[in-house]
Amino acid sequence: MQSELTLIEQVKLGKIWEFPGGINPPERKSLSNQTEIGNFTTHTLYIPIQQHIGVAGSLLVTKGESVLKGQALTSPGEGLSLPVHAPTSGVISDIIDHVDAHPSGKTVLTIVLEADGKDLWVNKNPLLNWQELDRDTVVKHIQAAGVSGLGGASFPTYVKLSPHKNIDLLILNGVECEPYITADDVLMRYHANEIVQGAQIIQHLVAAKLCVIAIEDNKTEAIASIEKALADVADIELRVVPTKYPSGGEKQLVELITGLQVPSGGIPADIGIVMQNVGTSFAVKRATIDGEALVSRVVTVTGERVKNPQNLWVPLGTPIKTLLQNVGYSPEKTPRLIMGGPMMGFNIVDDMMPVVKSTNCILAPSNFHLPERGVEQNCIRCGQCADACPAELLPQQLQWFAKADEHEKLKEYDLFDCIECGACAYVCPSQIPLVQYYRIAKSDIRQAEEEKLKAEKAKRRFEVRQERLERDKQARLLRHKESAEKRKKALAQDGSAKDKIAAALARAKAKKATSENTDDLAASDTPQDKVAAAIARAKAKKLKSSKVSVDNSADSTPEASLETSLKATDTAPTTNPNKDRVAAAVARAKAKKLAKEEQEKVKNDAELKNETDHKGHADAADKPVSEAQVDKTLTAAEERKAKVAAAVAKAKAKKQKAAADEPNQEPTLDFVDKASAKISNEDKKRSADDERKAKVAAAVAKAKAKAKKQATESENSTNTSDKETPDLNVADDLSQTPEQIRKDKVAAAIAKAKAKKNANNDTDNGSNNS
Amino acid sequence: MVSVFYALSALVLMALIFGAILGYASVRFKVKSDPLVEQLDQLLPQTQCGQCGYPGCKPYAEAIANGDDINKCPPGGDATIKLIADLMGVEAVSLDAAHGEEDVKKVAYIREDECIGCTKCIQACPVDAIVGASKVMHTVIVDECTGCDLCVEPCPVDCIDMVPLHTGAANWKWDSLVIPTKTVA
Amino acid sequence: MSLLTNMFVSSPHGNLGLTTNQMMRIVAYATLPGLAAQIYFFGWGSLIQAILCISTALIAEAVVLSLREKPIRRTLSDGSAMLTGLLLALSIPPLAPWWIAVIGTVFAIIVVKQLYGGMGFNLFNPAMAGYVVLLISFPVAMTNWLPPTELLQHPMAFGDAFLAVFTGFTYDGYNLTQLKMSVDGITMATPLDHFKTEQILNYTTTEILNSPLYGEYGGTGWLEVNLAFLLGGLALLKLGIIRWHIPVAVIGSLGVCALLGITIAPDQTYPLSFSLLSGATMFAAFFIATDPVSASTTNQGRIVYGCFIGVMIYIIRIWGGYPDGIAFAVLLANMCVPLIDHYTKPVTYGHKRRREAKS
């Protein structure tokens, strides 16, 4: 019988269905629904730029700008995005990272607005003829007004208003099943007409054949008010549902009104239904017919610790502290503030959190009426949780699996169908925080899946790269083979060529012998260069062989290599300035690396010796001292060499063009900044070429700074290490310095970049201060 | 004596029959699963960093299949060690510190001011996550970077940093909240 | 910017308020009518056993908790050890020697409950497992049930019972075998036991039921005890501590089996009321089988679990070696619980087709 009726026909029959489970906690709504909605204003507003699910918008305003009420402060970004608007007229005093209305307490970019008290609206742009306009226009208008789901999820409304599926039914959710909250209740009582108008707009946009407004049976005045408003309206009907938590959940309300279940992983639009909160409907009406952006909302400020619990029209961005001060809030010994209701709200950890689009309630309960949960005990498998679950899950099993991190089982038991309503944890006699376990498990599973995807991608890329390298290698081999054969053929044909080839081969061999261990130093053209290069090569070769033979004596290697590279650059003449500079930078970096390597080696030895010392304490005193000495000599030598290197580079840079400012012999980190700054300041007058010079000098100065720092660090360590347990100290300090080297580098680079930016800004005559 | 002979032959016959059935079943009903190396490779994090001592994750997976220690992978961390232990049926040991420490997820960042366009890091990256060519600016594609650290060494001007990924409210994990959950008895 | 609290709490922020400790206590209170009936009809022995078992249980649990380095006072106050002791005390003969109670309780608490991981982790019902260990190890002591007081040859006061439990003899010097004699000089056993032995001797049902051991609907004394436990069980149902699935399933399936038996062989099986109101049937249906930790967790599963117990009780009574097979039936069912749970998983929202209208 039922399958023959369409959805609309069935709904029109007026049946109210049921969902399993659910609980009936004490409602405590009479605290706050006795008065009309008050108005609230405050001086300072903190407006986060993201108050919705999706991507944040980009700033349109700057610090110090004056704005009017309803003026857009951000423009929507790409993808799922909404703008935010100024809730009142005033001046933007700051744009900072301020605490977000989020359980983590983390910060988000926030616009701080100081109200000027005049509350002037910007030019409103109403769409009075919305019925004749193109649907897309109206939807875009609603997006530009910043309307998002005011029921708590804050999903951008414009997406729901442009479904790509056939919609039969629009449900307006006025159920408000959570205890304490009465925001929708009073909105329906006093603004029923506007809500109905909004419903008509939405119904038109989604082309739904029928609209149903659902209200719980404990809101008698609201029901009467809506009935009155629906008196002459066609295609919108009222449905009263029995009071039960969580009837107001989207999935549960769909089941109540239609008897259908939203498919797992899907949305109601999949079965031809769109649901909106009554508050959202009101906001849609205000945006369309009155041209007002979403700048304030009804917030229930309630709880037994509040002297005057009530509903208020609160401008978005009002800090909670301000709101509470005005309603007579007196905290308990351990203050307890909840944003949202007692079942799904989160604890407020910082009372400067602002009211955002999704804030429907600020709750300050007393411990007597809403006792804190007890300490968690073992699960006794009583099954009350499964009886309460509206989604027919097995919370008990989910809890076992969540505690054991069994992701496969969790997916098998449909963890992601949990709506986190909290009914299970509410009834649990063992006080287990079930929903918390599920949230943790869900985020763990999501993260694991993301990582798996990333790993798959990385693996694929790796494999493709291996294939490519293999292909290239094969191609190269093939080419070699072909050219070899060609040569052979040519040789066979032309006898005289053989002699030429032999001569060439001999030359090549000779060259190879001397250029075994060449670095990529400047390949110069003049004979002087060649000689110098050859000498350098020879020295380098000697160096490497000596390095291999020497066991852990760190003295000679870094300075020697430094010397070599220095000499090579010294003797190379200035015909290729760029290459020289590059070479110098490369040489510096190499020296640094070698020095680091040596230090690592020494550190490793120190650690090894630590281990061996555990067995034989006798030699404890001697070894670290000797290493410290080695250290000393190492760093002292390096310091000297670094100084020399710096001076050389300086001289070269000078030789080129206009002089740069020289860093002096005592480089500190600050001075490196200053040096870089000075250098880059003078860039104004020079060409791009000189900038490279400056870079080199800066790099050199950096290297020196690092060397100096290493020297001072290890000297400090050697001083202290003589007295006490030497092994550990030496090891520790040695391990610190590479880290510090990195930090120094970063700091120096940042400083350089800053200075450069400053220089650029000056030339552009911009006024931006970062 | 004869009864013993009967008993013995009966048992032997039964053993042969059941043995034959079992043998047939083990061939006919064999469950086709991935070879062990593939399964191990699936568990490894695919950063291809080489910290385990092998040039990539697949070679390490092969080594584990041949009996190598399972605790050499720092990017995988203790979670991966546990999974490998479950698969291999060996005991899960803690991460071998000689191969590195488990750290927060990092990605490489090239300080473009200092890059000289030498392509050494591009050649070093095992997943081709660095864009660039000779004498042209090099940049790391953050989404593809596995944080393996192999590009830092070859850079001659040392302009690559490893920076941790940013965690904001969007990718914040719920278990950062410490809930006082103590199970009793 | 002020940080309000250092303790992070998650939603939901309230709780129904019925804690595990309260639940255990309410179950204990619900056994009191049954305990009272047992004392009235079978002497003070049950009370002494109850006190003995509860104290042993608490001491044993405290010892193990201190070994496990868990908080002792908090765990003991959750009432589960006390309840285990009480349930075991109600199952063993009133005049069983004191060491029976001690051994049984110690086994139940330490081995069956704590070694498996403590409350919530035990696979088997601790009281029943303890009972089975006693029954198998000390069959004679465990089957020394007293006849109802009205049939006793040697009436007993509290002091007699106390002495009997701790020394084996009453004040007047009678031992248990003598105490078991009825006014007619016949050694009495429980009605079920008696029925079984008579059956083996090939008496028919009608003949057996003529004995003064049996009242109109069941064994003398035992009928009232069962009714008292039924009362307590109904109170638990009303309070929502237990759900109807298991008791209804146990009693229902037992009843169905009994009816089947009567239809097929009326002369060799118990009458219906006797099946349901003798031995520890009601006690088992409402207090033993409903132990949440060892029972099935899904509602459908509970029905299957209850049916299994009911059928097993009947089978063991008729064809098994023991007169009352409740303990074994419950333990066997405990073993089947993981399988039952796996196959009776409800279908989650969004995973099934259109539901039926329910208005």
SS in 3 state form for C254-273? HHHHHHHHHHHCCCCCCCHH
* CA pair distance C127, C288, nearest whole angstrom: 8
pLDDT interval class at A227 (50, 70, 90):
very high
Q: Do B179 and A433 touch (CB under 8 A)?
A: yes
Q: Which of C265, C268, C343 is nearest to C304 (CA)?
A: C343
Contacts by residues A443-449 (CB-CB < 8 Å, ≥ 24 positions apart)? A443/B173, A443/B174, A443/B175, A444/A405, A444/A407, A444/B173, A444/B175, A445/A407, A445/A410, A445/A411, A445/A415, A447/B173, A448/A407
Using pLDDT thresholds of 50, 70 and 90, give the confidence band for residue A726: very low
Chain B CB within 8 Å of residue A589 CB? yes
Question: How many angstroms from the chain centroid is the CA of residue A319?
Answer: 24
pTM strictly above 0.90: no
Whether C108 is covered by a domain: the verdict is yes
Residue A630's pLDDT is 41
Quick one: closest CA in A to C347, which residue? A392
Task: Collect all residues of chain C within an 8 Å Cβ-Cβ radius of residue B180.
Answer: 7
Q: Tell whether A541 lies on the interface with B, counting CB pairs under 8 A.
A: no
Contacts of C344 in chain A (CB under 8 A): none
Domain end call among C132, C154, C185? C185
- Residue C351, in any domain of the structure: no
Confirm if C127 and C289 have CB atoms less than 8 A apart. Answer: no
Of residues C175, C179, C182, C178, the one with CA closest to residue C213: C182
Residue contacts between B and C (CB atoms, under 8 Å): 19
Residues C150 and C24 in one domain: yes
The distance of A263 to chain C (nearest Cα, Å) reads: 4
Contact A85, A73 (CB under 8 A): yes
Residue entry with tokens 């390949």: A523
Which chain B residues are closer than 8 Å to A104 by Cβ? 169, 172, 176-177
Asked if residue C46 belongs to a domain, the reply is: yes
C230 and C156 in a single domain? The answer is: no
The pLDDT mean for chain A works out to: 78
Q: What is the pLDDT of residues B5-27, one digit of tens each?
A: 999 999 999 999 999 999 999 99
Q: Is the pLDDT confidence value at A34 over 60?
A: yes
- Mean pLDDT, to the nearest integer, of A547-569? 45
Decide: C89 and C54 in contact? Cβ < 8 Å: yes
Q: For residue B84, give the nearest of B102, B98, B65 by alpha carbon.
A: B65
Q: Which domain holds residue C235?
A: 189-339
Q: Is B125 annotated as a binding residue?
A: yes
Residues in chain B within 8 Å Cβ distance of C83: none
Strands A90-99 and A107-115, how do they pair? Answer: antiparallel
Higher-confidence residue: A678 or A226? Answer: A226
Tokens of B77: 């961390």
d(CA A163, CA A135): 12
Phi, psi dihedral angles at A150 (to 5 degrees): -90, 5
Cα distances (Å, whole numbers) of residue B61 to A442, B33, B58, B71, B101: 29, 16, 5, 12, 20
**pLDDT given for residue A766 in this prediction:** 41
- Distance between CA A150 and CA A359 in Å, rounded? 8
What confidence score (pLDDT) does residue A736 get?
47
CB count in 10 Å sphere of residue A472? 10
Residue A675 dihedral angles phi and psi, to the nearest 5°: -60, -50
Give all domains of chain B, ordered by start, each with its CATH number.
Answer: 36-99 (1.10.15.40), 104-166 (3.30.70.20)
Asked if C173 and C210 sit in the same domain, the reply is no
* Residue at which a domain ends, from C120, C152, C185: C185
Q: Per residue in B96-146, pLDDT tens?
A: 777 777 777 788 888 888 888 888 888 888 888 899 888 888 999 988 888
**Complete domains list, chain A, with CATH:** 373-514 (1.10.1060), 515-764 (no CATH)
Query: Position of tokens 């969790």?
Result: A410
Query: Rounded to whole angstroms, how far apart are CA atoms A258 and B11?
Result: 68
Distance, in angstroms, between B174 CA and closest chain C CA? 10
> Residue A74 contacts by C-beta under 8 Å, 6 or more apart in sequence?
A49, A56, A57, A58, A59, A60, A83, A84
Do the domain assignments include residue C281? yes
How far, in Å, CA of A377 to CA of A672, rounded? 60
Strand, helix or coil at A95?
A: strand
Q: How far apart are CA A757 and CA A681, in angstroms?
A: 10
Q: pLDDT-based confidence at A659, cuts 50/70/90?
A: very low
Q: Which residues contact A441 (CB under 8 A, 6 or more apart)?
A: A398, A401, A402, A405, A407, A410, A415
* Residue A405 · residue A444 · CB < 8 Å: yes
**CB neighbours of A725 closer than 8 A, spacing ≥ 6?**
none
Tell me if residue C52 falls in helix, strand or coil: helix
Where is pLDDT greater, at B174 or C97? C97
Q: Specify the amino acid at residue C82.
A: M
Asked if B168 lies within 8 A of A586 by C-beta distance, the reply is no
Mean pLDDT, residues A576-587 taken together: 63
Say if residue C155 is in the same domain as residue C196: no
How far apart are the two ends of chain C, measured CA to CA in Å?
Answer: 52
pLDDT (tens digit, 9 = 90+) per residue, A609-649? 555 544 444 443 444 444 444 444 445 555 555 555 555 65
A207: tokens are: 């082309």
- Quote the CA–CA distance of C62 and C64 in Å, as a whole number: 6
Give the containing element (helix H, strand E) for A530: helix A527-549
Are the beta carbons of B185 and C10 separated by less than 8 Å? no
pLDDT above 90 covers what percent of chain A?
48
Whether residue C132 contacts residue C118, with contact meaning beta carbons closer than 8 Å, is answered with no
Kindly determine whether residue C350 and residue A338, on different chains, have CB atoms separated by under 8 Å.
no
Exposed / middle / buried, residue B132 (Cβ in 10 Å: 0-12, 13-18, 19+): middle
B179 and C10: CB-CB below 8 Å? yes
Q: Does A454 sit within 8 Å of B181, measured CB to CB? A: no
State how many domains chain C has: 2
Query: Is residue B159 a known part of a binding site?
Result: no
pLDDT at residue C201, as a whole number: 78
Same domain, C218 and C118: no
The partner residue sitting opposite C118, judged by closest CB among B178, B180, B185, is: B185
Separation between Cα atoms, residue A286 and residue A157, nearest integer Å: 14
User: What string of DSSP letters covers C292-344?
Assistant: TTTS-SSHHHHHHHHHHHHHHHHHHHHHSSSS--HHHHHHHHHHHHHHHHHHT
Output the pLDDT for position A411.
93
Please determine, for residue A113, whether its predicted confidence score (pLDDT) is greater than 90.
yes
Please state whether B119 falls in left (phi above 0), alpha (psi between -120 and 50) or beta. Answer: left
**Which of C159, C185, C211 is where one domain is finished?**
C185
Q: Does one domain contain both C181 and C194?
A: no
Query: What is the C-alpha separation between A261 and A243, in angstroms, rounded?
Result: 20
C124 lies in the same domain as C212 = no
pLDDT confidence of residue A13: 86
Residue A454: band (very low, low, confident or very high) from pLDDT cuts 50, 70, 90? confident
Instruction: Please state, in angstroms and rounded to a whole number, the distance separating the CA atoms of residues A166 and A494.
Output: 83
Q: In the structure, what pLDDT confidence band is assigned to residue A745 with cuts at 50, 70 and 90?
A: low
Is residue C271 domain-resident?
yes
A116-141: per-residue pLDDT in tens?
999 999 999 899 999 999 999 999 99
Kindly state whether residue C116 falls inside one of the protein's structural domains.
yes
Of A221-230, A430-439, A503-512, the least confident: A503-512
> B50-87 pLDDT, tens per residue?
888 888 888 888 888 888 888 888 887 777 888 888 88
- State which residue of chain B sits closest to C72, comparing Cα positions: B185
What is the C-alpha separation between A220 and A165, in angstroms, rounded? 35
* Tokens matching residue A23: 């609980």
Q: How far is CA C72 from CA A371, A553, C97, in A?
A: 25, 63, 29
CB contact under 8 A, B185 and C119: yes
**What ipTM was predicted for this assembly?**
0.88
Cβ of A104 within 8 Å of Cβ of B176? The answer is yes
* B180 at C interface, C-beta within 8 A: yes
Confidence of residue A676 (pLDDT cuts 50, 70, 90): very low
Alpha-carbon distances of B127 from B38, B143, B159, rounded to whole Å: 19, 11, 19
Q: Are residues C203 and C104 in the same domain?
A: no
- Compute the nearest-CA separation of A391 from chain C (Å): 5
Query: Do the beta carbons of residue A67 and residue A90 sit within 8 Å?
Result: yes
Which one, of B153, B137, B152, B125, lies nearest residue B47 by Cα?
B125
What pLDDT score does A710 carry? 56
Q: Which of residues 139-178 of B touch C (CB under 8 A)?
A: 177-178
DSSP E strand stretches across A161-221: 169-174, 210-216
C103 belongs to a structural domain: yes
Binding partners of B (≥3 Cβ pairs within 8 A): A, C
Same domain for C257 and C116, yes or no, is no
C196 shares its domain with C164? no
Three-state secondary-structure class, residue A405: coil
Which residue on chain C is closest to A264 by alpha carbon? C350
C165 and C193 belong to one structural domain: no
CA-to-CA separations, B129 to A45, A162, B81, in angstroms, rounded: 44, 38, 26
Select the residue of C18, C346, C354 nearest A429 (Cβ to Cβ).
C18
Q: Are residues C33 and C175 in the same domain?
A: yes
Number of helices (H) and strands (E), helices first, in chain C? 18, 0
Q: How far, in Å, CA of A86 to CA of A73, rounded? A: 6
Helix (H, G, I), strand (E, B) or coil at C123: coil
Q: Is the pLDDT of residue B150 over 60?
A: yes
All residues of chain B having their beta carbon less than 8 Å from the beta carbon of residue A590 are 156
pLDDT in 10s for each residue of chain C, 359 residues? 344 554 557 788 888 888 999 999 999 999 999 999 999 888 888 999 999 999 999 999 999 999 999 888 888 888 899 999 999 999 998 888 999 999 999 999 999 999 999 888 999 999 999 999 999 999 888 887 777 777 666 667 777 778 778 877 776 777 766 666 665 656 666 777 777 777 777 777 777 777 766 776 777 788 889 999 999 999 999 998 999 999 999 999 999 999 998 898 887 777 888 888 888 899 999 999 999 999 999 999 999 999 999 999 999 988 887 877 899 999 999 999 999 999 999 999 988 754 443 33
Residue C40: other Cβ atoms inside 10 A: 16
- Contact indicator for A669, A751 with CB cutoff of 8 Å: no
Please report whether residue C163 resides in a domain. yes
Q: How far apart are CA A546 and CA A544, in angstroms?
A: 5
Q: Which residue has the higher pLDDT, A579 or A334?
A: A334
Chains touching C (3+ CB pairs < 8 Å): A, B
